[in-house]
Amino acid sequence: MKRAYVLINCNLGTEKEILETLRSIKSVKEAHGTFGAYDIIVEVIADSMDKLREEITWKIRKIPYIRATLTLTGIGGQN
């Protein structure tokens, strides 16, 4: 399994709507609102890096009102 964490900036006041949409995506294991530089953090899991990339690019980043994302992936061998 491949895992990534996606940090999201969104339009003010749209956090709840975005969180509901994120939680309906099968590959999203957790999604939480945050305080600080980013508004939402999401944990995404997929079978391969290609599938992970597809989920983030075509499902998460296309959600209305998301302005920017930053994706963090783990380094193999440092589990």
Q: Which amino acid is at 13?
A: G
Domain boundaries, the chain: 12-73
Q: Could you say which architecture CATH assigns to the domain 12-73?
A: 2-Layer Sandwich (3.30)
- For residue 76, the model assigns a pLDDT of 72
Tokens 């983030």, residue located: 56
Residues 6+ apart with CB under 8 A from 2: 45, 46, 47, 48, 49, 51, 52, 73
Q: Do 25 and 57 meet the contact criterion of CB atoms below 8 Å apart?
A: no
pLDDT digit string (tens) for the chain, length 79 residues: 999 999 999 999 999 999 999 999 999 999 999 999 999 999 999 999 999 999 999 999 999 999 999 999 987 776 5
